[in-house]
Structure 1
Amino acid sequence: MGMLSPRHQHQPMSMWPAMPDWSDLVARLESMSPWTPLDSHMIRVEEHLAEGRYTLRAELPGVDPAKDIDISIRDGQLTITAERSEQKAEGTRSEFHYGSFYRSMPLPAGAQEGDIDASYADGILTVTVPVAEAPSSERHVEIRTAGGNEDATS
């Protein structure tokens, strides 16, 4: 029989790994998967910027847009929250996600927050925002010399 490491000498043999090993395994599996339980209540979106308009489309099937969806803007962030209530009936099976859903996205530079439009059709929320051409953020700085001579070419 082989030698056991000191760690295993006094522990009973088990076919199941210790709890820390399970959590490591779950973390590794979640990191490999494009979908994890942690993002199950995040709203999935598509965004597009073209012809002076930013368009955000969000998947929100099975909600009443008049009472279950809220869109807010704060500090250049567009935030969508939604709520889908479960209707339980005995003997049914459901794989739908219920509860609160949330997504916050930064608006592009030049977004005109006062002119936002939102519509809902076929389970898709569409938010459009006009975008003015943002002024260039690049600027050139004049260099002064130590002798107070502003003209460095002489």
Structure 2
Amino acid sequence: MGTPARREARLPDLFDLLEMPFTTLRPFTAQAIRIEDYVDEDKYVIRAELPGIDPDHDVEISVSRGILMIRAERKEEHEGRRHSEFRYGTYERHIRLPENAREEDIKATYDKGVLTITVPLQEAKEATRRIAIER
């Protein structure tokens, strides 16, 4: 008996199954970028998984009206028929920034496949103000 032939159709992995309902709700065809975020003292930090991407040519970061947009593109390097489970194409993520974010001072770095965006935060203004009733 010889070795069994490899199946050409692959079953979706767990992450594919978890993302399926969300991808149908998105109006665009870009894949989501996986992120983690946290507040560290006076800054909001966003870390995004972007392995195998050239940050100088394939990543765009912009901010507008409190929304940070990360867009990346991973292009196939080889042509022809081969087995690959890598994901290629456009990746995009929109993140609402905290109200006290200083958009003009946002910085980004890329190291070992992880994009780190640091958003400085200014002191939060008092959110609630009592209104006096006049007679």
Pairwise TM-score range, normalised by the shorter structure: 0.7 to 0.9
- The one-letter code of the counterpart of 1:48 is Y
Following TM superposition, where does structure 1 have runs of at least 4 consecutive aligned residues deviating by more than 3 angstroms? none
Residue aligning to 2:105: 115
Instruction: State the Cα deviation string for residues 54-78 of structure 1 (Å, max 9, x = none).
Output: 0000011110000000000000111
Tell me how far apart the structure 1 counterparts of residues 107 and 86 of structure 2 sit (CA, whole Å). Answer: 29
Tell me how far 1:91 sits from its aligned partner: 4.2
Residue aligning to 1:10: none
Residue aligning to 2:66: 76
Residue aligning to 2:20: 36
> 5+ unaligned residues in a row in structure 2: which ranges?
1-16, 25-29
**SS of the residue 2:53 aligns to:** coil
Q: How does 1:5-154 map to 2 (within 5 A)?
A: 33-36=17-20, 38=23, 41-145=31-135
- The one-letter code of the counterpart of 1:141 is I
Tell me how far apart the structure 2 counterparts of residues 91 and 54 of structure 1 sit (CA, whole Å). Answer: 43
Tell me how far apart the structure 2 counterparts of residues 45 and 76 of structure 1 sit (CA, whole Å). Answer: 18
- The one-letter code of the counterpart of 1:92 is R
**SS of the residue 2:56 aligns to:** helix
Query: Whose helix proportion is higher, 1 or 2?
Result: 1
> 5+ unaligned residues in a row in structure 1: which ranges?
1-32, 146-154
Instruction: State the Cα deviation string for residues 66-94 of structure 1 (Å, max 9, x = none).
Output: 00000000001110000000123434211
- TM-score with structure 2 length normalisation? 0.77
Per chain length, whose mean CA-contact separation is higher, i.e. which structure has more relative contact order (CA < 8 Å, sep 6+)? 2
Aligned residues with identical type, % of pairs: 42
Q: Which deviates more, 91-100 or 44-53?
A: 91-100
CA RMSD of aligned residues (A): 1.7
The alignment covers a number of residue pairs equal to: 113
Which one has the largest radius of gyration? 1
